[in-house]
Amino acid sequence: MTKEMQVLVGMGWRAFRPTVAVYVLGSVGYMFLLLWLYPSIVHAPGLESVLATLPKSLTATLGLTAGFANPLAYLASEYYGTIDLWALMIFTVVGVVRLLAQGPDRGFAWAWLAGPVSRAQWIMSQGFVFILGLFVFTLVGMLSTPVALAIWDRGQHPTPEILVALNLLSFLLFFALAGMTAVCASAFRDDDRALNTAGAIMALEYLLSLVGGLTPHLVWLRRLSLFGWYRPADIVAHGWHRVWPGALGLFFIGTLLWIAAIWLFRRRDLSL
Amino acid sequence: MIQVHRLSKQFSPGRGIHELSFTVERGEATGLIGPNGAGKSTTLRCLMGFVRPTHGYARVAGKNCWQEAAAVHRLVGYLPGDVVLPETMKGRRFLEDIQRLRGVSGPPTRLNSLLARFDLNPDQAIRLMSKGTRQKLAIIAALVSDPAVLILDEPTSGLDPLMQQAFLSLMDEERARGKTVVLSSHIFSEVARVCDQVAVLKDGHIVAMDAMARLRAEQEILFDVTMSQAPTTEALNGLKIVDRRDLVFTVAVQGDYFRFVRTLANLPVSHLEQRTQSLETLFRHFYSDGVTHP
């Protein structure tokens, strides 16, 4: 990394750090709350029988295949499969658009882009800042899981492999979705439009994954969605061995999307 | 130092800049003047590599502004026409970041000198700064690394008259130090003060490009001359009177100031004032509808 890029990364991280802190604290706080509530949920009369009456496709769609029999399965469906996903979706769209699009589109990035850096260096530095934020988000979530289980004494200590697999796939999923958002940020000359478009695509991807899980006939819809690669309940239920194809696929797609975003940004006009 | 050759940027049909060519030698200052929409900012953005030319090229120190933008930026201090700054920062932090990015190290002598010259307190939050203060901050940001080339888009926009003079004095000093300057403005007097040559832009074309002295001779200046008593018609011979209200005569002068002053010397003049004229009025011969692009 060149000296100029280090300066850009430092500036970007200084601006982005408070946002990362808010999301991380909110997300981890919610994880602690979920585990605190776990005994009252698992001991709710009739919950298992209600789940048993639901069609298998619906429990799969809702990420409840592992049931609520143990706290990790509960966290996989209610935290990793729901709240964490939603928080990361907002974090990704808002964060990437803010770092990559707002400066050039609203005009305040002139001072940095008129500096001795190429456009590729600029967008790579901002992308690096986002990925660093995503890494911190994921890492804190991963380290908090055993801590939260221990604090509430839920009697289960997840294997490191399961924890790493859950968080690695989550990281790579949002690395790829951030690449898609970066493409929107580079393609449009209006950050509001980039935000709306990337948000709509992400919501559509999520919806495809949900609907694709309802029936075997619609499973092809799930395959169209990046979210289809990430099924936390399955990882907890079946182990971490099957995550590598998904991890490699997400890494490959994400890298391609980021390269496309850099290519587009290098060619666009800037009203600075 | 700067070569612009058949530079074109097409936006919507008819809009943009078309086949602009000019050169700026090392140590020279060139002004781009023209009304809003004439293509001044687009030309400067091409020089910064922010806009990709549809045709032609711009070079700074032999480097292509689009293909080698980072190398060009090492030589250039840039001020945009519409200054937008990061609202969440303080002025000092912003300037320190610029210095670090541009590799400025050592004691902040130049920064302190610029801050003193523009009477700017950098410890204020940018969001609390007035338009004029933001403009001063942006000017300092463009100059703080002491670049060899200055590309400035409407630099005095938003500055009060005192600060406009401070800026123009600074430009005189930078010129004396051998800096190459390209600036745009729609205020002729500003360009006349700083520049050696001027390109007059209209609808994205250069309609005139000439040395400042020659262009100055071509502009038509209006003076309101107030007489203490009505002069005879013969006494006004040699003056181009374009309007008269009672004892106030509006006289148009184009180049021949000696004749103008000599004639006035024999008249009962009680007051003399130069009219503020728009660019279109100053260069009506370029901006009239009938003028075709060269």
A204/A221 Cα distance (integer angstroms): 11
Residue B293 lies in a domain: no
Out of B73, B86, B100, name the one closest to residue A114 (CB). Answer: B73
B210 and B67 inside one domain: yes
Is the CB of residue A124 less than 8 Å away from at least one CB of chain B?
no
What is the pLDDT averaged over residues B229-235?
Answer: 86
Strands B63-64 and B2-10: unpaired
Residue A272 lies in a domain: no
Q: What is the pLDDT of residue A38?
A: 80
Number of domains in chain B: 2
B97 and B203 inside one domain: yes
Are residues B73 and A115, on separate chains, in Cβ contact within 8 Å? Answer: yes
Give the confidence band of B238 by pLDDT, cuts at 50, 70, 90: confident
B87 and B97 inside one domain: yes
In the A/B pair of chains, how many CB contacts fall below 8 A?
65
Are residues A116 and B87, on separate chains, in Cβ contact within 8 Å? Answer: no
Strands B248-253 and B221-227: antiparallel
B168 and B228 inside one domain: no
pLDDT higher than 70, residue B236: yes
Ordered DSSP codes for A244-256:
HHHHHHHHHHHHH
Q: Under a CB-based contact definition with an 8 Å cutoff, are residues B234 and B285 in contact?
A: no
Longest dimension (CA), chain B: 70
A227/A231 Cα distance (integer angstroms): 8
Question: Average pLDDT of chain B?
Answer: 89
A272/A111 Cα distance (integer angstroms): 9
Out of A7, A114, A269, name the one closest to residue B51 (CB). Answer: A269
B155 and B276 inside one domain: no
Q: Under a CB-based contact definition with an 8 Å cutoff, are residues A66 and A152 in contact?
A: no
Which of B185, B217, B249 finishes a domain? B217
Q: What is the pLDDT of residue A85?
A: 92
Out of A8, A107, A116, name the one closest to residue B102 (CB). Answer: A116
Tokens 């926009």 found at = B157
Tokens 């990420």 found at = A63
DSSP 8-class letter at A227: G
Q: What is the pLDDT of residue A67?
A: 62
Contacts 24+ apart (CB under 8 A), B231-236: B231/B267, B231/B268, B235/B263, B235/B266, B235/B267, B236/B263, B236/B267
Number of domains in chain A: 1
pLDDT higher than 70, residue A6: yes
B113 and B179 inside one domain: yes
**Closest CA of chain B from A189, distance in Å:** 13
Instruction: Write out pLDDT tens, residues A64-100.
Output: 665 666 788 888 888 888 889 999 999 999 999 999 9
Nearest chain B residue to A105 by CA: give it: B84
B249 and B136 inside one domain: no
Is the CB of residue A267 less than 8 Å away from at least one CB of chain B?
yes
Give the confidence band of A256 by pLDDT, cuts at 50, 70, 90: very high
B268 and B239 inside one domain: yes
**The model's pTM:** 0.85
Judging by beta carbons within 10 Å of its beta carbon (0-12, 13-18, 19+), is residue B234 exposed, middle or buried? Answer: exposed
Residue B196 lies in a domain: yes
The number of residues making up chain B comes to 294
Q: Under a CB-based contact definition with an 8 Å cutoff, are residues A132 and A172 in contact?
A: no
What is the pLDDT averaged over residues A107-135?
Answer: 95
Instruction: Write out pLDDT tens, residues B252-290.
Output: 888 788 888 999 998 999 999 988 666 666 666 666 655
Q: What is the pLDDT of residue A11?
A: 92
Out of A4, A107, A119, name the one closest to residue B101 (CB). Answer: A4
Question: Average pLDDT of chain A?
Answer: 88
**Closest CA of chain B from A114, distance in Å:** 6
Q: What is the pLDDT of residue A238?
A: 81
Give the confidence band of A2 by pLDDT, cuts at 50, 70, 90: confident
B159 and B241 inside one domain: no
Which of B176, B193, B217 finishes a domain? B217
Residue B210 lies in a domain: yes
| Exposed e or buried b per residue across A15-35, where buried means at least 16 C-beta atoms within 10 angstroms of its C-beta | bbeeebeebbeebbebbeebb
Instruction: Write out pLDDT tens, residues B64-93.
Output: 999 999 999 999 999 999 999 999 899 999
**Closest CA of chain B from A200, distance in Å:** 28
Q: What is the pLDDT of residue A221?
A: 86
Instruction: Write out pLDDT tens, residues B141-195.
Output: 999 999 999 999 999 999 999 999 999 999 999 999 999 999 998 887 788 888 9
Q: Percentage of chain B surpassing pLDDT 90? A: 65
Provide, as residue numbers in chain A, all residues whose Cβ is less than 8 Å from the Cβ of B94.
111
Q: Under a CB-based contact definition with an 8 Å cutoff, are residues B266 and B241 in contact?
A: no
Q: What is the pLDDT of residue A64?
A: 62
Q: Percentage of chain A surpassing pLDDT 70? A: 91
Are residues A114 and B76, on separate chains, in Cβ contact within 8 Å? Answer: yes
Q: What is the pLDDT of residue A58?
A: 67
Alpha helices in chain B (DSSP H): 40-48, 69-75, 91-101, 109-117, 131-143, 161-176, 188-194, 212-218, 257-265, 279-282, 284-287
**CA nearest to A153, candidates A38, A258, A232, A2:** A38
Q: Under a CB-based contact definition with an 8 Å cutoff, are residues A235 and A77 in contact?
A: no
Is the CB of residue A111 less than 8 Å away from at least one CB of chain B?
yes
A87/B11 Cα distance (integer angstroms): 40
Amino acid present at A81: G
pLDDT higher than 90, residue A231: no
Provide, as residue numbers in chain B, all residues whose Cβ is less than 8 Å from the Cβ of A15.
86, 88
Amino acid present at B14: G
Q: Under a CB-based contact definition with an 8 Å cutoff, are residues A254 and A179 in contact?
A: yes
Q: CA torsion, points B172, B177, B181, B186, in degrees to nearest 10?
A: 0
pLDDT higher than 60, residue A271: yes
Judging by beta carbons within 10 Å of its beta carbon (0-12, 13-18, 19+), is residue A56 exposed, middle or buried? Answer: exposed
The number of residues making up chain A comes to 272
Angle at B151 between CA B148 and CA B156, to 5 degrees: 120
Q: What is the pLDDT of residue B171?
A: 94
B7/A271 Cα distance (integer angstroms): 18
Look up the CATH number of the domain holding residue B223. Answer: 3.30.70
Look up the CATH number of the domain holding residue B129. Answer: 3.40.50.300
- Rounded to two decimals, the ipTM of the complex is 0.81
pLDDT higher than 90, residue B217: no
**CA nearest to A7, candidates A162, A164, A125:** A125
Q: Which two tokens stand for residue A242?
A: 């099957």
B126 and B272 inside one domain: no
Q: Which two tokens stand for residue B176?
A: 């004396």
Residue A46 lies in a domain: yes
Residue B241: domain span: 219-287
Give the confidence band of A236 by pLDDT, cuts at 50, 70, 90: confident
Out of B69, B82, B101, name the one closest to residue A107 (CB). Answer: B82
Residue A223: domain span: 3-267
Are residues A107 and B80, on separate chains, in Cβ contact within 8 Å? Answer: yes
B20 and B115 inside one domain: yes
Mark residue B39 as left, alpha or beta (left: phi above 0; alpha: psi -120 to 50; beta: remaining): left
Q: What is the pLDDT of residue B112?
A: 93
Rg (CA), chain A: 20
What's the Cα-to-Cα distance from A27 to each of A31, A137, B115, rounded to whole Å? 6, 9, 45
B7 and B115 inside one domain: yes
Contacts 24+ apart (CB under 8 A), A74-78: A74/A34, A74/A38, A74/A41, A74/A42, A75/A31, A75/A34, A75/A35, A75/A145, A76/A166, A76/A232, A76/A233, A76/A235, A76/A236, A77/A232, A77/A233, A78/A34
Q: What is the pLDDT of residue B290?
A: 52
Nearest chain B residue to A121 by CA: give it: B70
Give the confidence band of B222 by pLDDT, cuts at 50, 70, 90: confident
Provide, as residue numbers in chain B, all residues whose Cβ is less than 8 Å from the Cβ of A269.
45, 50-52
Out of B52, B85, B102, name the one closest to residue A115 (CB). Answer: B102
Residue B158: strand, helix, or coil:
coil
Q: What is the pLDDT of residue A210?
A: 86
pLDDT higher than 90, residue A57: no
Which of B217, B237, B271 finishes a domain? B217
Q: What is the pLDDT of residue A155?
A: 65
Q: What is the pLDDT of residue B289?
A: 57
Residue A201 lies in a domain: yes
Give the confidence band of B27 by pLDDT, cuts at 50, 70, 90: very high
Nearest chain B residue to A14 by CA: give it: B89
